[in-house]
Amino acid sequence: MATETPHVSNPHLLRDIQKLGAFDVSACFSCGTCTSVCPLSDGTTVFPRKIITYAQLGLEEKILASPEPWLCYYCGECTDNCPRGADPAGFMMATRRWLTTKYDVTGISKRLYGSKLAEWIGIGLLVLLAGLLAFWYHGPIVTSTVALSTFAPIQLVELADWVVLGVLSVFLLVNVFRMYYYTVLRIPGKRIPFSAYVKNVLILPITFFTQYKFASCKKDPKKHWFSHLSRYLGYAMLFVLAVFLLSEWQTDTYYPLWSPIMLLQYAAAGLLIYGLSGPLYGRLKKTENQYKYSHSTDWMFLLLLLATALTGVAVVTFKYTYLPWAAYITYAFHLMLVTALLVLEVPFAKWSHMAYRTFAPYFAKLQALRGTPLAGGSKSG
Amino acid sequence: MVEAVTVAPKTAEHYDVLVVGAGIAGMEASLTLGDMGMKVLLVEKSPTIGGRLLLLSKVFPTLDCASCISGTKTSGTSHHPNVTMMTYSEVSEIRRNDKDGSFSLRYVEKPRYIDTALCTGCGECEKACPIILPKETEYGLRGRKAIYIPFDTAVPKKAVLDLDNCIFCGACERVCPADSIDFLQAPREHEAEVGAVILATGFEPFPIEKKESYHYGQFPNVVTSLQMDRLTGPTRPFNSILRPSDGKEPSNIAYALCAGSRDKTVGNLRCSQVCCMYSMKQAQLILGTLPAADVTLYYMDIRAYGKGFEEFYQQTKAMGVKFVRGRVAQVEEEKNGDLTVYHEDTEGPGGKGKSTHDLLVLSVGLLPMRGIEKVFKNATLELDEMGWVKLRDETRSPSETSIDGVFSAGTASGPKDVPDSIAEAASAAAQAVGYVLSWREKTGAAVGIPLPKSMPVPMPQAVEVAAK
């Protein structure tokens, strides 16, 4: 079963991580200021310095075995206090990108993060595929009224929903399992009793639904946490609408503007767009530490999400203003964008963090039960 | 140098070398020059000579008494026949004369409001003065009056009146037995011609209140290492080590090294070179006064680079001082005045560490004493990126600055310990003499006052060799 993690050094590790973010962690002289000022680092979870040291030493296996990068919510306190200007927070972000490429079994993630061209080709292919499907399989075009369900046959959309959901879940869960393998299973030490898995399982829904740790970040904690929570809630509501309530949501019938399903839809779109405005503005103006450096995948994620939300809003607007052609064409674009967004981002790119961040505290707990501190044996002198 | 004499105003004074700053380096340079027969003008901006060293307790790694080292230099400087000492004076302008390599300068003698010829340093005025202010030379640990003698061993031992804080009650004037108080004194400008210049302007301690996370000035039990040096000195206030908030004898003292050094967030990237050693020195002295105390040093790297330094480090460890590798990141105050410091023990298992101490000493770094670059009017004194005087070639010609004939001594060009400062001062003095004599040879003229025949070193040969 579990064996001692090999101490093999990868001399290119720091360079590999550095490709995924702008920071100068080679300047780090390991003073520990970052760990000491971090509002989330405590006695059991030790970062960022430990992870930086691993990267400097090329200890790839140690970083793979660390759930810590996912426990960091990027408040930038460490970067503000770093006496070397090494930008530890930026390093942690780049490490998360690197880990995403490592958890992914297909290698798609590595390509997406590795080159913008691959990213564009991926998006292009998916958009094209969805566009062609919409073109081939769309139903009769009714122009007397806006009949979305007739245009896009509800059974087909529903089927596509569940297929995409199933396939993506499989990919994502495989990645999460790999994360579990690296962070828990492969760590040598005591056997973890099954009861521990059950006892700690509540961490998962609590983290998933509240992201409460995010709120402990020191600087403007509530602001960023709330912005993040709104885009997450907005998305979650749309997910429920699109997957479980599709037959109610996407119909040919015209609901009164204040019916519950319409209200739910307004709230979801409002929350999502509000939640996206913060990071988009921040990244554009580079207002705060966490927005100073943007990887191309960050932009892609935010812009795809925004475009999807806006086309969705447009479809509804066109429907209720009785503009059938505009509604159908926008709807086709909406489907194309949503396909690209879900298929690429959920299992392979930025969106996968919803799984990794949720599981990280759970795995960290389990890892601690192994009783083998990762940093063990590093005491010098 | 006939020309210069005719051009200069009749009142101009003539010297061979100007030394700016009378700390240990300035005094050493002046004494060396004076012993070689050079006439020296020593200009010091504070009311006394001796500089920072005089205010320290002991020096590392020998634990020699600091005032004993500098005391011989201060009295030597003040009595040397070839050294003209101008305290409480500032150089305002230096121009280089390219024709003969000499320098014309102006300096201003600030008013002490005391006739120094009459003042005997008896201290009666201090007793009479009703105004109490924090004493600069004790870093605020003691008080002084608005009219005061800076400290007991001050050279010159003359009073100085702090007019900004004076209420003009006249009490000092009434009690002065020598009738030396003169409220009507005004700044006096002097002009001088010199053959060479030595800059021994020294350093200033890093203003650690700029590092907000350490809360110096807000938490009373956070003190600087300079204050601690006073508390461990033989002439210390309170005659013991007491913490400021409640006068309790501390039993668990922490040192935060690199306070204001090697820190991009406060704009000082450099290592200050002396903090490791003086912190260990203080730790040893604390254990001498408070043998049962716990002393913890939070450090990043112990730089014990000089002769006997590593042994001193090992000795400090052996005495029971605890060394924790990790920089102090944050300080919080407890209700009883104790201080909680956050740090990471980077040699242990790591993670956020939290320890409580009853006194925190910040080992403050050194910053350049700025301003001297502005007095050069027709030449540029180059500074390095941190503002220290830039040396032309640090390895091959120490103490040569970007201006021919201007030399640097001591910490003017960067942080240094006492022995290095003294060594560099002697080097600057030797180079200044070489410079003056080579110009004299070239122009066939005398700069300042001719050298006496009894000059101990056979200089002309050396100059001949240099001229070839």
Instruction: Give the pLDDT mean for A4-11.
Output: 72
Q: Which residue of A has its CA nearest to B345?
A: A32
Q: Sort out which chain A residues have CB atoms less than 8 A from B353's CB and list them.
A: 36
Other CB atoms within 10 A of residue A212 CB: 11
Q: Are residues B325 and B427 in the same domain?
A: no
Residues of chain B with Cβ-Cβ distance to A68 below 8 Å are none
* Residue where a domain terminates, one of B307, B337, B366: B366
User: Are residues B379 and B316 both part of a single domain?
Assistant: no
From the list B263, B326, B351, the residue facing A46 with the nearest CB is: B351
**CA–CA min distance B299, chain A (Å):** 8
Average pLDDT, rounded, for chain B: 91
| Residue B130 is assigned to a structural domain of this protein | no
Q: What is the pLDDT of residue A244?
A: 87
Any idea what the CATH number is for the domain that residue B266 is in?
3.50.50.60
Buried b (16+ CB within 10 A) or exposed e, B128-139: bbebeeebebbb
> Are residue B382 and residue B348 in the same domain, yes or no?
no
In this structure, the answer to whether residues B196 and B244 fall within a common structural domain is no
Tokens 């309530």 locate to A245
Nearest residue in chain B measured CA to CA from A53: B346
Which positions ≥6 away from B282 have C-beta within 8 Å?
B57, B225, B228, B229, B232, B255, B361
- Residue among A45, A83, A381 whose CB faces B263 most closely: A83
In degrees and rounded to multiples of 5, residue A110 shows phi and psi of -60, -40
| Yes or no, beta carbons of B352 and A83 under 8 Å apart | no
Confidence of residue A224 (pLDDT cuts 50, 70, 90): confident
Mutation target among B298, B302, B346, B354 for the A interface, most CBs of A within 10 A: B346
Q: Give a yes or no: residue B174 inside a domain.
A: no
Residue that is last in its domain, among B333, B348, B366: B366
In this structure, what token pair is assigned to residue A366? 């389990």
- pLDDT, residue B403, reads 96
B391: tokens are: 């040396």
A234-242 contacts, C-beta under 8 A, 24 or more apart: A234/A267, A234/A268, A234/A269, A234/A270, A234/A271, A234/A272, A234/A273, A234/A274, A234/A275, A234/A309, A235/A268, A235/A272, A235/A305, A237/A264, A237/A267, A237/A268, A237/A271, A238/A268, A238/A269, A238/A272, A238/A312, A241/A265, A241/A268, A242/A161
Q: Which residues contact B286 (CB under 8 A, 6 or more apart)?
A: B232, B241, B253, B293, B295
Model pLDDT for residues B252-282, shown as the tens digit of each residue? 999 999 999 999 999 999 999 999 999 999 9
pLDDT digits (tens, 9 = 90+) for A278-301: 999 999 998 888 888 888 889 999
pLDDT in tens, A66-97: 999 999 988 889 999 999 999 999 999 999 99
Mutate to test the interface with A, among B327, B345, B354 (most CBs of A within 10 A): B327
- What whole-number percentage of chain B has pLDDT above 70? 93
- The mean pLDDT of B111-127, rounded to a whole number, is 95
Q: How far apart are CA A127 and CA A129, in angstroms?
A: 5
* Closest CA relative to residue A353, chosen from A89, A70, A76, A51: A70
B414 phi-psi bin (left φ>0, alpha ψ -120 to 50, beta other): left
Q: How far is B212 from chain A (nearest CA, A)?
A: 11
B302 and B352 assigned to the same domain: yes
Sort out which chain A residues have CB atoms less than 8 A from B343's CB and list them.
32, 36
Pick from B167, B236, B219, B188: nearest CA to B331: B219
- Count Cβ atoms below 10 Å from residue B114 Cβ, excluding itself: 25
Mean pLDDT (whole number) for B236-241: 89
Contact B265 A80 (CB under 8 A): yes
Residue of chain A minimizing CA distance to B265: A83
Residue B212 sits in the same domain as residue B354: yes
pLDDT in tens, B277-309: 999 999 999 999 999 999 999 999 999 999 999
User: Which pLDDT score is estimated for B11?
Assistant: 62
Average pLDDT over residues B425-454: 77
Q: Which residues of B touch A35 (CB under 8 A)?
A: 344, 350-352
Q: Which residue of B has its CA nearest to A77?
A: B329
Are B346 and A37 in contact (CB < 8 Å)? no
Helix (H, G, I), strand (E, B) or coil at B400: strand
CA B253 to chain A, closest CA, distance in angstroms equals: 20
Q: Which residues of B187-207 are buried (b: 16+ CB within 10 A; e: fewer)?
A: eeebebbbbbbbbbbbbebbe
Chain B residue with the nearest C-alpha to that of A374: B349
- Is residue A4 predicted with pLDDT exceeding 90? no
DSSP β-ladder status, B339-344 and B147-148: unpaired
Asked whether residue A1 carries a pLDDT value surpassing 50, the answer given is: no
CA-based radius of gyration for chain B:
24
Instruction: Give the domain range for residue B312.
Output: 207-366
pLDDT tens profile B39-73:
999 999 999 999 999 999 999 999 999 989 999 99
Q: Burial of A117 by CB count in 10 Å (0-12 exposed, 13-18 middle, 19+ buried)?
A: exposed
Do B324 and B253 sit in the same domain of this protein?
yes
Contact B428, B217 (CB under 8 A): no
Residue B4 or residue A352, greater confidence: A352
Regarding whether B306 and B416 lie in a shared domain, the answer is no
Q: Are residues B248 and B350 in the same domain?
A: yes
ipTM beyond 0.85?
no
- CB–CB of A238/A214 below 8 Å? no
Residue B90: helix, strand or coil by DSSP? strand
Q: Are residues B260 and B395 in the same domain?
A: no
- Do residues B353 and B359 touch, judged by C-beta distance below 8 A? no
Instruction: State residue A378's pLDDT score.
Output: 38
The answer to whether the Cβ–Cβ distance between B265 and A83 falls below 8 Å is yes
Cα(A31)–Cα(B345) distance, integer angstroms = 9
- The pLDDT assigned to B421 comes to 96
pLDDT of A222 above 90: no
What tokens appear for A169 in the block? 């879940």
User: Sorting pLDDT into bands at 50, 70 and 90, what band is A144?
Assistant: confident
User: Could you tell me if residue B227 is inside a domain?
Assistant: yes
Q: A44 pLDDT exceeds 80?
A: no
Q: How many domains does chain B fold into?
A: 2
Q: Are B181 and B295 in contact (CB under 8 A)?
A: no
Q: Please name the member of B327, B349, B353 whose beta carbon is closest to the beta carbon of A375.
A: B349
At residue B291, the pLDDT reads: 94
CA distance A354 to chain B (A): 26
Same domain for B191 and B91, yes or no, is: yes
Using DSSP's 3-state secondary structure scheme, residue B58 falls into strand
Q: pLDDT at position B455, please? A: 46
Identify whether B178 is part of a domain. no
CA dihedral sign, ordered A102, A107, A108, A112: positive
Confidence of residue A62 (pLDDT cuts 50, 70, 90): very high
Q: Would the CB atoms of A375 and B350 count as touching at under 8 Å?
A: yes
Q: How high is the pLDDT of residue B467?
A: 45
* DSSP alpha helix (H) spans, B91-249: 124-128, 171-175, 225-232
Looking at the domain assignment, is residue B395 inside a domain? Answer: yes
- Kindly state the average pLDDT of the residues B91-112: 95
Task: Tell me if B167 is assigned to some domain.
Answer: no
pLDDT digits (tens, 9 = 90+) for A296-344: 889 999 999 999 999 999 999 999 999 999 999 999 999 999 999 999 9
Place of tokens 């399982």: A201
Q: What is the pLDDT of residue B92?
A: 96
Asked whether B23 and B2 are in contact (CB, 8 A), the reply is no
Please identify, among B366, B400, B417, the residue that sits at the C-terminal boundary of a domain: B366
List CB contacts of B51: < 8 A, sequence separation 6 or more.
Answer: B21, B22, B23, B24, B26, B27, B70, B202
Convert the pLDDT of each residue in B377-432 to its tens digit.
999 999 999 999 999 988 888 899 999 999 999 999 999 999 999 999 999 999 99
Percent of chain A with pLDDT over 90: 57
- The answer to whether residues B332 and B339 touch, using CB atoms and an 8 Å cutoff, is yes
CB-based contacts of B185, cutoff 8 Å, min separation 6: B111, B112, B113, B114
Pick B264's closest partner by Cβ from A49, A85, A376. Answer: A85
Entry pTM: 0.87
Going along chain A from its start, the domains and CATH numbers come out as 13-103 (1.10.1060.10), 108-364 (no CATH)
CA distance B398 to chain A (A): 29
What one-character DSSP code corresponds to residue A30? -
Question: Could you tell me the two tokens for A101?
Answer: 């490429």
pLDDT confidence tier of residue A188, bands split at 50, 70 and 90: confident
pLDDT higher than 50, residue B1: no
Beta bridge partners of B299: B325
Average pLDDT estimate for A130-152: 86
Instruction: Please state, as a whole number, how many other Cβ atoms lie within 10 Å of the Cβ of residue A60.
Output: 21
| Phi/psi of residue B376, nearest 5 degrees | -80, 115
- Whether the per-residue pLDDT at A366 is higher than 80: the answer is yes
* Per-residue pLDDT, A68: 93
Residues of chain B with Cβ-Cβ distance to A29 below 8 Å are 262, 300-301
The percent of residues above 90 in pLDDT, for chain B, comes to: 84
- pLDDT exceeds cutoff 80 at B461: no
Closest Cβ–Cβ partner in A35, A81, A83 for B352:
A35
| B357 and B223 within one domain | yes
Do residues B18 and B199 touch, judged by C-beta distance below 8 A? no
- What three-state secondary structure class fits B64? strand
For the cut 70, the answer to whether the pLDDT of residue A59 exceeds it is yes
- Chain A neighbors of B340, CB-CB under 8 A: none
Which residue on chain A is closest to B342 by alpha carbon?
Answer: A36
Is B116 within the bounds of a domain?
A: no
Answer yes or no: is B217 within a domain. yes
**Residue B354 phi, psi (nearest 5):** -145, 120
**Distance separating alpha carbons of residues B143 and B125, to the nearest angstrom:** 15
- Helix (H) / strand (E) element for B94: namely strand B89-97
How is residue B265 written in tokens? 């967030």
